C-alpha cells in the first residue's frame, strides 16, 4: 500500500505524506493497544472502611490498585466503589492509620477495618485552636500522661494525680483536700509571679492561680483552691506538658512558664448510648502524732505575784520567766478561755490541769473523700457527644473542714 501511495504523490507533497504516515501509525497502535491487566476480567468492588478501635466510619480513605495509578476514595459514609482486575491488590491508606494491602481474589465486596498507627499518633500534639503539630517542632516537650496513669491513684485534683509521673515538674500542695496545688515546670523563671503554667483544655486557655485566698473574721485565712481542681479527672484523655520558645509562641507571654495541654475524652463507640459510672472513695488517717509537752501551760509573758490570788509568788523556774505558762497540776487556778460564769457574769477561775494527748481526740477520725462521676456518650450518623458530671464530698480530719 505504501508503494502505491508513493507513486501517486508529488514531490511538493512529501511533507504532507510523512505526516499522514505518522498519524496512521499512531492510529493503528491505539487500535491494538491493550490496557493494564490485559487478558484479565475486571470486576466492581464495593465496601465500607471503618476504624478497628470504635467502628467509626472513615471518609477520605485512599484506595489504590497496587502498581498503578488507578484509585478512589471513600465518601462521607465511608463507602467506596472501584472497578479493578479480579486478581488485583488494593492498598488502603489514611492519616493516622497503618496502610493495608488486600488481595481482591475475585470478591465483589471487601469491608476494611483500619488500625491506628501508634507511631504516627505519638508524634503529633494538639496545640492552639486544635491544630496538630509534630512534637519535635514545638522546641521542648517535658512529658505526656495518659488517662490510665491518672486513674491509678485517684485524687480530686488532677495536678496531685500527676505528681511523680513526669520528670522536671515540681508539684506541691498547700494542704489537704481542696487546697491549692502548685505546679512548676523546669524550675522557677520569675521572682515576682507564681510561676504557674498556662492550662489549655481542648484549645481553650485557662489560668490557675495559687493566690485564691480569702478570709473570714479577724486574721482567719481560707484557701479556696485553684481553678484546675474543677476539672474532672475522669473526663481527661491525655495531658501534654510543654515548655520552650516554640510552645510559648503559640499562646504569648502567658505561656512563659510552660503550657499544660489537656485533651478531654470523646465519644468513641457506635451502637447506641453508653453510660459509664465511676465511684472512688479515699480514706485519710493521721500517720504520725507529734510529741508535745504537758507540764506547762501556754503563755506569752512572765508571771508576777499579781497572777495568783493570795499574792504569794510560788517557786518558779527559767521556763516560766521566759514566757511559758505556769506549771500544770500544781493547784494553780486561773481564768481560762470558755470559763464558767458566776451569777454576776464574771468568769470563774478553774484549776490548771494537764490533759495529755487531748488534741488527738480533736482529730482522731478518718477523713473520707468520695468522688462519683457519670458520663453519657454516643456516636451516631448525625452527631457525636459525651456529657459528664462529677461530684466530690469530703469529710476532713479537723471538724468544720468538710467540703462538698
For residue range 76-111, what is the model confidence (pLDDT) as tens digits?
Answer: 889 999 999 989 999 999 877 889 999 999 999 999
Residue with cell 487546697: 179
What secondary structure letter does DSSP report for 323? T
Backbone angles phi, psi at 32, to 5 degrees: -105, 5
Q: What is the pTM of this model?
A: 0.53
pLDDT in the model for residue 101: 94
Question: Is there a contact between 373 and 393 (Cβ–Cβ < 8 Å)?
Answer: no
In angstroms, rounded to a whole number, what is the distance separating the alpha carbons of residues 89 and 102? 6
**Residue ranges in 33-179 assigned as alpha helix (H):** 118-121, 147-152, 158-162
Question: Is the model more confident about 342 or about 402?
Answer: 342
- Return the biggest CA–CA distance within the chain: 157
* Beta carbons of 54 and 379 less than 8 angstroms apart: yes
Handedness of CA 48, 54, 60, 63 (dihedral sign): negative
Q: What pLDDT, on the 0 to 100 scale, is given for residue 120? A: 45
Interval 350-389: pLDDT, tens? 888 888 877 777 776 788 888 888 999 888 878 888 898 8
The H or E element spanning position 89 is strand 89-94
The neighbour count for residue 213, using CB atoms within 10 Å, is 13
User: Distance (Å, rounded) from C-alpha 92 to C-alpha 66?
Assistant: 10
pLDDT, one tens digit per residue, over 18-71 is 445 454 444 444 444 444 444 568 899 999 999 988 888 898 899 999 988 888
Residue 46 confidence (pLDDT): 95
- Neighbouring CB atoms inside 10 A of 262's CB total 22
Is 154 in contact with 278 (CB distance < 8 Å)?
no
How big is the CA angle at 326 (ends 322 and 329), to the nearest 5 degrees?
150
User: What is d(CA 178, CA 155) in angstroms, rounded to the nearest whole number?
Assistant: 10
**Alpha-carbon dihedral angle through residues 341, 346, 348, 352, given to the nearest 10 degrees:** 110
- Phi first, then psi, for residue 47 (nearest 5°) are 175, -175
Domains by residue range for the chain, with CATH? 42-114 (2.60.40.1120), 124-264 (2.170.130.10), 272-286+364-395 (no CATH)
Amino acid at each position: 500500500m505504501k508503494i502505491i501511495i508513493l507513486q501517486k504523490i508529488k514531490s511538493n507533497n512529501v511533507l504532507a505524506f510523512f505526516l499522514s504516515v505518522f498519524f496512521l501509525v499512531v492510529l493503528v497502535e491505539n487500535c491494538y493497544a491493550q490496557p493494564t491487566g490485559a487478558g484479565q476480567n475486571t470486576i466492581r468492588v464495593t465496601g465500607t472502611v471503618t476504624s478497628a478501635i470504635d467502628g467509626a466510619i472513615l471518609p477520605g480513605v485512599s484506595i489504590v490498585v497496587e502498581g498503578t495509578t488507578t484509585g478512589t476514595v471513600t465518601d462521607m459514609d465511608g463507602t467506596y466503589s472501584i472497578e479493578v482486575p479480579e486478581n488485583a491488590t488494593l492498598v488502603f491508606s489514611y492519616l493516622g492509620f497503618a496502610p493495608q494491602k488486600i488481595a481482591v481474589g475475585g470478591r465483589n465486596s471487601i469491608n476494611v477495618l483500619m488500625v491506628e498507627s501508634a507511631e504516627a499518633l505519638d508524634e503529633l500534639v494538639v496545640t492552639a485552636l486544635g491544630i496538630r503539630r509534630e512534637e519535635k517542632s514545638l522546641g521542648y516537650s517535658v512529658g505526656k500522661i495518659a488517662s490510665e496513669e491518672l486513674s491509678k491513684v485517684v485524687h480530686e485534683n488532677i495536678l496531685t494525680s500527676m505528681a511523680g509521673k513526669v520528670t522536671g515538674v515540681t508539684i506541691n500542695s498547700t494542704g489537704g483536700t481542696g487546697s491549692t496545688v502548685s505546679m512548676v515546670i523546669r524550675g522557677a523563671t520569675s521572682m515576682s509571679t507564681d510561676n504557674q503554667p498556662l492550662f489549655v483544655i481542648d484549645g481553650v486557655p485557662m489560668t490557675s492561680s495559687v493566690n485564691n485566698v480569702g478570709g473570714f473574721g479577724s486574721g482567719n485565712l481560707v484557701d479556696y483552691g485553684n481553678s484546675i481542681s474543677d476539672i474532672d479527672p475522669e473526663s481527661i484523655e491525655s495531658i501534654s506538658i510543654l515548655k520552650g520558645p516554640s510552645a510559648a509562641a503559640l499562646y504569648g507571654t502567658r505561656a512563659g512558664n510552660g503550657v499544660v495541654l489537656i485533651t478531654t475524652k470523646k465519644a468513641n463507640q457506635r451502637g447506641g448510648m453508653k453510660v459509664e459510672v465511676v465511684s472512688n472513695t479515699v480514706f485519710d488517717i493521721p500517720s504520725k502524732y507529734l510529741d508535745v509537752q504537758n507540764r506547762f501551760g501556754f503563755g506569752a509573758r512572765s508571771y508576777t505575784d499579781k497572777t495568783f490570788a493570795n499574792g504569794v509568788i510560788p517557786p518558779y523556774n527559767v521556763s516560766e520567766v521566759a514566757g511559758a505558762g505556769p506549771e500544770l497540776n500544781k493547784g494553780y487556778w486561773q481564768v481560762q478561755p470558755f470559763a464558767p460564769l458566776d451569777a454576776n457574769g464574771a468568769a470563774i477561775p478553774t484549776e490548771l490541769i494537764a490533759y495529755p494527748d487531748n488534741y488527738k481526740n480533736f482529730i482522731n477520725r478518718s477523713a473520707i473523700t468520695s468522688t462519683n462521676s457519670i458520663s453519657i456518650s454516643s456516636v451516631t450518623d448525625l452527631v457525636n457527644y459525651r456529657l459528664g458530671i462529677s461530684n466530690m464530698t469530703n469529710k476532713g480530719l479537723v471538724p468544720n473542714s468538710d467540703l462538698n
